[in-house]
Structure 1
Amino acid sequence: MGDGFIRWYRESGETSIFSGQVATFDRSGVTIAHPDTGIVTVVNVDGDDVAVDFERLGWVIALRIPSVTVNWWISAETNVVSTYSHEPLGCEVQTFWLDGVDTSEVQTLMSAIMSTISQVPTPTRALVCDVQGLTDADDWDSVALYEGADIPGAVDSVLLGKGVADRVLSAAGLCGEAVGFGLVKVLAT
């Protein structure tokens, strides 16, 4: 079994949604700055936390060139490591690694993501929640970024944007249910 994750595939809009995501996450109880110290950190290649200026971090993410790994804080003791990456097709992918996060904290994070989806103009292509890590996060790229139609495995939740959902549901003979914000939840059969 691998590491649990939430993987959020977004179209690349004209502007980055980072500031909007930070504001919406904050209202949902998930902060980019440590709750006690107020310090924003990125994770370097050695796995060390490095303090960074919030505006500079937003600028780097908006460049859409490098991958950037950041800490999101659910409490002063609990963080979720998240990696922003940008794919050649113009999509932004954010993966939240769920190591050491309990069920209620996953729900808090999912609520923050869904709130952000409802408030930012950039459409979501797919949102995959695999708390147990039954699949590999990269396995979902075929479905979300390319023309793949095979669901890589049974996970907690799969939400697909309309175009992706139409392709996947018809090819795989699966059912879906509209959940709003242009997303369709793939239902287990």
Structure 2
Amino acid sequence: MLLDIEGEQVLIGQEELGRLLGLRIASLTMQWWLSADTDVCDEYVYEPFGCEIQMLWLDGLYPEEVRLVESAVIAAATQLSVPTRAVVVDRRGISDPDDWDSFMLYDEATVPRFPESVIAQESITEKLMRAVPGLAKESVGGHLTRLASARQT
């Protein structure tokens, strides 16, 4: 489903959704269904200099459902032919997603409050490790590295 500007559901086929995403002319908000009564909202934004940003809202999901969605996103990020720059996993909502855009896309030096983990390309993880003390590092594949507080690992 797509969600229109008023939050109403608009039924759309996968081919048409792929075409709209491929046009890269506007943000799209999608609603994915995990089951008959459990959904995830996904905002897709195209950045003019050649990348996309996706934000998934997982509020209201059970912990196992959150882990399922996170696993699917991480698996996709490591297997896509187009390189993923970063995946920010913020289960508690301690940082504003827009704050990460400046750091990840525009080489901003200020790091937002660090969430549960950040999975990113090596250049970004090196910058984060210099700015945030006490991070543990783990390779997740696909040229991506997971950083988390050493206390969490």
- Shorter-chain TM band: 0.7 to 0.9
Query: Which AA in structure 2 matches 1:49?
Result: Q
After superposition, what is the alpha-carbon deviation per residue over 1:32-65, rounded to whole angstroms, capped at 9, x for unaligned?
Answer: xxxxxxxxx1000001001112211110001112
Pairwise CA distance, 1:173? 5.0
Tell me the secondary structure at the aligned position of residue 35 of structure 2.
coil
The residue aligned with 1:65 is 25
8 Å CA contact retained: 1:83, 1:94: yes
8 Å CA contact retained: 1:89, 1:145: no
Pairwise CA distance, 1:139? 0.9
The TM-score, its normalising length taken from structure 1, stands at 0.72
In structure 1, runs of 5+ residues without a counterpart are: 1-40
After superposition, what is the alpha-carbon deviation per residue over 1:56-93, rounded to whole angstroms, capped at 9, x for unaligned?
Answer: 11100011121011111111110001011011221111
In structure 2, runs of 5+ residues without a counterpart are: none
The residue aligned with 1:116 is 76
- Once the two structures are superposed, the pairs formed by residues 42-81 of structure 1 within 5 Å of their partners are 42-81=2-41
Aligned length: 149
The answer to whether structure 1 residue 188 and structure 2 residue 127 are counterparts is no
Distance across 1 between alignment mates of 2:43 and 2:104: 17
The TM-score, its normalising length taken from structure 2, stands at 0.88
The residue aligned with 2:130 is 170
The residue aligned with 2:104 is 144
Pairwise CA distance, 1:172? 4.4
Pairwise CA distance, 1:142? 1.4
Larger relative contact order (CA 8 Å, sep ≥ 6)? 1
8 Å CA contact retained: 1:42, 1:50: yes
Query: Alpha carbon RMSD of aligned pairs, Å?
Result: 1.7
